[in-house]
Amino acid sequence: MAATRVITAASATTSCFLAKRAFLLPAKRSCGGGGALCFNNRRALVLKSKRPFSCSAIYNPQVKVKEEGQPETLDYRVFFLDGSGKKVSPWHDIPLTLGDGVYNFIVEIPKESKAKMEVATDEDFTPIKQDTKKGKLRYYPYNINWNYGLLPQTWEDPSQANAEVEGAFGDNDPVDVVEIGETQRKIGEVLKIKPLAALAMIDEGELDWKIVAISLDDPKAHLVNDVDDVEKHFPGTLTAIRDWFRDYKIPDGKPANRFGLGDKPANKDYALKIIHETNESWAKLVKRSVDAGDLSLF
Query: Is the CB of residue 94 less than 8 Å from the CB of residue 104?
Result: yes
Show the beta-strand stretches assigned E in 30-175.
Answer: 38-46, 62-68, 77-81, 87-88, 97-99, 102-109, 113-115, 117-119, 128-130, 132-133, 136-137, 139-144, 147-150, 161-162, 168-170
* Active-site annotation, residues: 140
Nearest Cα neighbor of 181 from 135, 150, 145 is: 145
Residue 160: C-alpha distances to residues 47, 70, 95, 207, 284 (Å) = 19, 38, 24, 10, 12
Query: Is the CB of residue 10 less than 8 Å from the CB of residue 103?
Result: no
**The one-letter amino acid at 239:** T
Using CA atoms, how far apart are residues 71 and 238, in angstroms rounded to an integer? Answer: 31
Residue 96: C-alpha distances to residues 33, 158, 297 (Å) = 30, 20, 16
Using CA atoms, how far apart are residues 228 and 269, in angstroms rounded to an integer? Answer: 12
The residues facing 133 across adjacent strands are: 136
